[in-house]
Each structure stands twice: as C-alpha cells, then as structure tokens.
Structure 1
Amino acid sequence: MARTGKISKRLLMIVLLTTLLLSACQPSEVEIPTERALSVEIMEVSYGDLQVRTTLTGQVHPLEEVRLAPKMPGTVRQVYVSVGDRVQAGETLVTLDQRDLLNSIRQSEAAAGIAEAGVATAEAGLAAVEEQHQQALRELNRIQTLYQQGAATKQQLEQAEMAASDNALNSSQAQVEQARAQLNQAQVTIEVARSSLEDTVIRAPIEGVVTEVNAKLGEGISGPAVTVAQLNPVVVKTTVSEYLINRFEIGQEVSVKIPAAQTEAYQGTVSTIAPAPGTGSLTYPMEMEISNPDGVIKIGMFAEVELTMETRENVITIPSEAVVIREGRTVVFLVEEERAVMREVIVGVDNGQTAEIAYGLNAGDRIIFSGQDFLEDGSLINDVNGKGSDAS
C-alpha cells in the first residue's frame, strides 16, 4: 500500500509538469499598439487686415531748457524757488547782494547832480558871453561906419575888432560842451550801475518747471544757479536710418509709447527732421512733440515710436506660429477627419504675429496653430479646445 501511494504521487507530479509544459508551448495573443493622438489647437482661416510696423527707440527731452547764471559773480541774497516749482516768464528766481551797486548808484547820481549844476553855470556864462559878443558886433559896425567917415581912428577900429572876436565865445562854448560831457559821463555811470543792479536778479526767460537749483543763501556764485525746462509739450528725440527717413515728414502724426508714463500710446507730431546724419553716425536725428499738460511724462524717460511700414486689407491671415518649415518647404497643417494634413503655402507679409497667406489656403479651412511642431503628415490629432474655429 505504501508503494502504491508513492506511485500515485509521482504520476500526479508528472501530470502537473506536463500540463505546465503544454501551457508554455501554446502561442500567446499579439498585442497591437494603440496610436496616440497629439494635442493641438485648431482655428478656422478667415480674411483680415494686417499691418507691418517698425519701432524706433528714443528718449524724452524738454521742449526748451535754460541754465541761468548771473551775469556777474556775487553773493546769493535770496532764493525764491525750489526744484519742481512751476514758474512764469519774467518771474524772479534768485537775487544777489546789491549793497555795493546801490552805493555806486548813489555816488553816480550825486556826481550827475554836480555835473548838471556845472552845465547850468556854463550855459549861463555862455549866454552872457553871447550877449556881450552881440554888443561888440554892433559896436564894431558903428566904429567901421565912423572910420569910413573919418570920425574914428585906426586904433579905435582895431580895438572894436578885437572886442568883437569869437575867442571869448568859443571859449565859453567849449566850457559848456565840457560840462555837458561830464554830465553825460555821470549819467552813463548811473545807467551802468543800474544795469549791473538788474544783473543781480535772475529771472525766468520762459514758462516752465524748475529742474535744478544750485544757488544757496549767503554763498558766492558765478556759474549756473537755476535750470528751467519747458515740459509741455515735451520732445522725443530719436534717430532714423536712411531706409526709413523718407517715410516721415514735418507735421506727421506718429504713435509714441512711453511705458513709464502710461500704458496707452501718445499721439506725437514730427517737429524736426535733420537733413543730414548726425556727426559720426549714419542715422538722421528726428524729434517729435507730445502734449504733456499733467506733467506725467518726465525728462529722460524711454520712448518707442511706432511706424506702419505696410498695410494689407481683406487678405487671408493666420497666426505666424502656424507656419512651419519642413524639408525646406513652408507649410501649414490642415485638419481632415482628425488627421493633420501638411499643405505647402506661400507667405506674403508677416509682422511676426500675423502672416498673410498669398497662396495655399482658403477662408473656412481648419488649420493647426499650436502644437504643430511635432506633427507629421497624417498624424492623429486631438483639439484640446474642442472648438477648432477661432484662435482667440
């Protein structure tokens, strides 16, 4: 009985091994890989307008800026303004010490008074001499008549001629002229002193904003004391290549962006176009004026001038990113039955964001504008937006 049990166990093991071997030898089913759809974004082609723009960089400058220095060195007596103050033309900004000049004016006025008195005395003396001269002339005429009649002597005639000579008259006239010259000199001295007094006052020559103050109370100054800039309007200065310069003209309106001032573009007007390149440059200086009533635009701010180079209206347009290069060909991927179909196109104008398709697409075509970089002709696709009609 024991041997029979052992044989049964052996048979069972043989059967199990045989079953396992037969199972291993059976051919397994071949798994067919599933094609993976690539995620893309789809849009419908339509007509639109397209503009090609170029951007020039520039910087904001004041319309006019003056650095005011006293015409004569002196000590600052009073400073009336601070940086940021708005001033009117003719407004007093700084005054210098005037004591020495005021004393000089007083002395000159006193000298002028003395000179006036001297002129009056000389003129009175001249009047008396002229009267004496007229009397001497009348006496000479009388003596000449008597001499001709033999009633006067030669000596009497000579004495009368000497008395009627112009010597005294000429001398008196010279004294008057000298007195008047002294008076004129005194008056000129007064005018010079008064002019110098005016030079101690620094006034604003233009309406504007104070951008710098170097004058300090009680300190001597001879250089620039105050700087005033006219900030409405302001000027944007840029340079233009020879390729673009003839696209501008005086009075032309241009779009100017100044990001530090506001997000919207300003409307500027071309005010100056240089007829020749700047020194040591191949570009032409150009200026544009921009209204700045609220003073938001500051001196030195960065500016961008936008110029429309070319315009296309009512043409087939697609996003520039939808166009790819494959094996040297310019292509776009269309959508047909959930498959990407490669089509060669001809691109017209491209502004970097939107491209004109001159040939190869029609309005209503559905194209892939995002996710096309890894596509091949015939690739299975999946529209992640599930719309396939509008890129926006």
Structure 2
Amino acid sequence: MKKWISLSIIVLLLTGCEKLDQRTGELKRMEEETVIKVKTVSAYTVVENQEARMLETAGVVMPKQELGLSFGTSGKIASILVQKGASVKAGQTLATLDQSSLQAGIQAAAGQVASANIRRSKALSGPESHEIQTRKLQVEKAKELAAKAEREYAQATVLFANGAIAKDELDRLALAQKQAKLSLEEEEIAYNKLMKGADRLDVEEAQVGVSQANVQLSRAKQEAADAVLKAPFSGVVAAVSQLSSEQTGPGSEVIRLVDTSSWIVKLQVDSEQIGLWQTGATVQVKSADGSEAEGKVTFVSPVMDQNVGAYPVEVTVDGSAANWKGGMTVTCHYPVAGKNAPIVPVASIGISDEEYYVMKIKENTVEKTPVKVGALHGTFYEVLEGLEPGDQIVGAGLSYVVDGEAVKVADE
C-alpha cells in the first residue's frame, strides 16, 4: 500500500513539473514575441540652429535678353549678312531688303519738298517787280475800256432819245458799260492787294505744303530704314529663320538674337522663405555638371505669382563666369543667419490633413506631435512651434510607426 502511494506521488510530481516547464516555455515564447513586435527606429535629438545655413532653391537659367528680329516693312530679302552662332555688335547690319523702289520714293518725296520750299519762299518775299508792272498795265487797260464803254453808253442814250437806235441796242451798251466798270474794280483790287506785299494766307498755305512734303519724305526715309535689319544689342545669333530672295514683312521673324553677357536665374520661392531673400545679396549658383558661379539677387517680387503659388526671384550671373545655356536647371545656395529655432531633418517631418507633425519619442513610445515649420535649410527644416531642444524624435520612416506604438531606439 505504501509503495503504491509513493508511486502516485512521484507520478503527480513528474506531471506537475512537466506542466510547469510547458507554462514556462509559453511565457518565454510570449516574451520573445513581445520583443519582436517592438519596432526599432532611428532617433534624432533636437538642437538649436545657431549657425548660418544655406537655402537651396532650384531655378532655370535664361539669357539677359532674347529677341526675335523682323523688318519694319514688307519686301524681298536682298541679303542676310550673318550665320547662326555669329557674335554681333549693337547697331551691326544683319540683313537688308531690296530698296530700289524705296530709294525712288525718297527721291520723289525730296522733289516735292524742294517745290514746296520754293512756293513758300515766293509767298514770303511778296510780288516781284514785273508782276506789279503787269498788274498795273492791266488796271490801265481796264480804265480805258471802262471809259470807252461809258462814252458809248452816253452817246447811245442821246441817239435813243432821238429815235435813232432801238431799245435793245441801248440795253446792250448799258450792260457793256456795267461789265467794264466791274472789271476795272477787280483789277484795282488785285493791284492794291499786290502792292501790300506778302499775303498771310498765301504764306500759311505755302507753309502747310512744305510740312506735308516733309512728312512724305520722312515716311519714305523710315520705310528705307525699316528695310535694314540691325542688331539692337550685342549678342549671339541663335537662329536664322528666312533666306535671301524670300518675301517677308513686319512681324515675320528673320533672325533670333540672344544676349549672353549675363544670365538670369529665375526662381520660385515659397512664402515661408521669401522674407529671407534680399536684393543685392550674394548667391552661389551650381549647375548639374558641377560648375559654380557667384551671382547677385537682382529682383524679389513683392507679390505672389498666383499660377504657381510662389514668389518670383531673379539672380543675375556674369556671362563670363559661367558657360551656361538657356533653359538649364541650376541650384542657388543662399546663406541666411542662424536663428534660435530647433532644426530637424526633412525626413522626420510628416504631413497629415495639411498639418506638419513629428513622432516624438517618450519612454520608448512614439507620440504624434503637431509642429509649425519655418525655412528649409538644405535637408533641414526650422521648427517654429511644437519642439524644444533636447526632444527626441523619430528621424526617418514615419510611415512605419503609429501614434502610441512602442519602439526601440537603435541609434541617433
């Protein structure tokens, strides 16, 4: 009996130990699974931004000037004097039209000007002596004719009273006497007018004629000038669009001229950074091929471009300092003084519901914390609100953690 009891006790003890070992194993596995579920994250400790930083903004290179040139009048192209790639000076003739008809127009207009000037000079000087003498003789002749008509009419009156002539004859002589008298008056008026010298109305009319002739001459000369295409500025011929002997006209581009004496880098700066950009500031400009040049901020727009939601900024670079091409993309490095504001990596900032946030690490647990960001300094954001120096945040991979999740910090 005692032996059986001992065996039972031994069996119970063995069974209990087995269950204990099983339970211990389960707890160990649960602990291991719990450890496995804790995500490992990289952390970043927030520090104040005391040092100067560089704003990096991409821009597009444009030449100082680019202009399509066309003739100011229609005609056949007589000659094109430059080729693509040629360097030209301001005022240099680049192309011409056939000017044969235009020169004929200038000569005709010049002749009209000369004739008008002669008429004006004559009007200003008044009548010449031979004109006065001729008019005086005409007055004397009119007086004689008037006196003769007067005598004939007087004789006819006596004859009619005696019945020697008919009434029709008397009326004819009366009309002749009257017409002779009117002719005399007209000649005397003309003579008196001539004796007064230059007539004001004649002088004014002659002056108008001169002005009109000069307008025609100026127009003809302008048309001839419009038939010569000259460089408005020094630069490089980028394209020649037409050939000699082709018909062309105003607004039809013949040559495209580019001024590469300096380059304009056009930037679009967001509202968070535009307050940092100042006209006259020095900027380092780097191209994709590694070349660098120093530029100056020459324009900061006072208003936002609503089409892109940013402020236009221009940086001017001396053309001799960089062998660039229009349309290239470059990066402008703009130095700004440091502020007493924390800075964090761009990768540590998330955006949710149009709000910026970070994942702050507290006692191995992440906490989603809204922040207000400021300027972008290369790969770092300024944080204006929401963080303090010394705070620890998830440095990257925000999409792999959620608010309230337990984490393990791997490194900083």
Answer whether TM exceeds 0.5 for this pair. Answer: yes
Q: Corresponding residue for 1:87?
A: 88
| TM-score under structure 2 length normalisation | 0.54
Deviations 1:48-106 (A, max 9, x none): x9665442111001112222221222221111222222221111111111111111112
| Structure 2 counterpart of 1:182, one-letter code | G
TM-superposed CA distance for 1:254, in Å, is 1.2
The counterpart of 2:211, out of the listed 172, 184, 196, is 184
Q: Corresponding residue for 1:71?
A: 72
Task: Please say if 1:271 is aligned against 2:298.
Answer: yes
Task: Please say if 1:257 is aligned against 2:286.
Answer: yes
The counterpart of 1:193, out of the listed 220, 226, 231, is 220
Kindly indicate whether the alpha-carbon contact (under 8 Å) linking 1:233 and 1:293 is maintained by their aligned counterparts in 2.
yes
3-state secondary structure, aligned to 1:181: helix
Gaps of 5+ in 2: 1-49, 137-183, 340-346, 348-360, 367-375, 381-388, 392-407
Kindly indicate whether the alpha-carbon contact (under 8 Å) linking 1:129 and 1:168 is maintained by their aligned counterparts in 2.
no
Q: Corresponding residue for 2:330?
A: 303
3-state secondary structure, aligned to 2:275: helix
| Structure 2 counterpart of 1:115, one-letter code | A
Q: Percent identity, aligned pairs only?
A: 24
Cα 1:164/1:109, change in 2 over 3 Å: closer
Kindly indicate whether the alpha-carbon contact (under 8 Å) linking 2:124 and 2:198 is maintained by their aligned counterparts in 1.
no
Deviations 1:32-58 (A, max 9, x none): xxxxxxxxxxxxxxxxx9665442111
Report the Cα distance in structure 2 between the residues aligned to 1:280 and 1:119, rounded to whole angstroms: 63
Q: Corresponding residue for 1:236?
A: 265
Kindly indicate whether the alpha-carbon contact (under 8 Å) linking 1:60 and 1:236 is maintained by their aligned counterparts in 2.
yes
The counterpart of 2:247, out of the listed 206, 217, 220, is 220
Kindly indicate whether the alpha-carbon contact (under 8 Å) linking 2:123 and 2:198 is maintained by their aligned counterparts in 1.
no
Matches within 5 A, 1:369-388: none
Report the Cα distance in structure 1 between the residues aligned to 2:321 and 2:335, rounded to whole angstroms: 28
Q: Corresponding residue for 1:43?
A: none
Matches within 5 A, 1:124-135: 126-128=127-129
Deviations 1:336-381 (A, max 9, x none): xxxxxxxxxxxxx99659xxxx769xxxxxxxxxxxxxxx999xxx
Report the Cα distance in structure 1 between the residues aligned to 2:301 and 2:283, rounded to whole angstroms: 17
Kindly indicate whether the alpha-carbon contact (under 8 Å) linking 1:90 and 1:204 is maintained by their aligned counterparts in 2.
yes
Kindly indicate whether the alpha-carbon contact (under 8 Å) linking 2:280 and 2:298 is maintained by their aligned counterparts in 1.
yes
Report the Cα distance in structure 2 between the residues aligned to 1:163 and 1:78, rounded to whole angstroms: 60
TM-superposed CA distance for 1:192, in Å, is 1.3
TM-superposed CA distance for 1:193, in Å, is 0.6
TM-superposed CA distance for 1:230, in Å, is 1.7
Gaps of 5+ in 1: 1-48, 136-157, 313-319, 330-348, 361-375, 379-392
Deviations 1:211-263 (A, max 9, x none): 22223111112212222222121000010011000111000011111124xx2
| TM-score under structure 1 length normalisation | 0.56
| Structure 1 counterpart of 2:107, one-letter code | R
Kindly indicate whether the alpha-carbon contact (under 8 Å) linking 1:273 and 1:287 is maintained by their aligned counterparts in 2.
yes
Cα 1:377/1:177, change in 2 over 3 Å: closer
Q: Corresponding residue for 1:110?
A: 111
| Structure with a larger share of its residues in helix | 2
3-state secondary structure, aligned to 2:257: strand
Q: Corresponding residue for 1:247?
A: 276
TM-superposed CA distance for 1:328, in Å, is 4.5
TM-superposed CA distance for 1:124, in Å, is 5.5
TM-superposed CA distance for 1:279, in Å, is 3.1
Kindly indicate whether the alpha-carbon contact (under 8 Å) linking 1:51 and 1:351 is maintained by their aligned counterparts in 2.
no
| Structure 1 counterpart of 2:127, one-letter code | L
Cα 1:183/1:351, change in 2 over 3 Å: closer
Report the Cα distance in structure 1 between the residues aligned to 2:99 and 2:319, rounded to whole angstroms: 39
Report the Cα distance in structure 1 between the residues aligned to 2:409 and 2:262, rounded to whole angstroms: 58
TM-superposed CA distance for 1:110, in Å, is 2.7
Task: Please say if 1:290 is aligned against 2:291.
Answer: no
Kindly indicate whether the alpha-carbon contact (under 8 Å) linking 1:232 and 1:295 is maintained by their aligned counterparts in 2.
no
Kindly indicate whether the alpha-carbon contact (under 8 Å) linking 2:286 and 2:332 is maintained by their aligned counterparts in 1.
yes
Report the Cα distance in structure 1 between the residues aligned to 2:215 and 2:327, rounded to whole angstroms: 47
Aligned residues: 271
3-state secondary structure, aligned to 1:293: helix
Q: Corresponding residue for 1:211?
A: 238
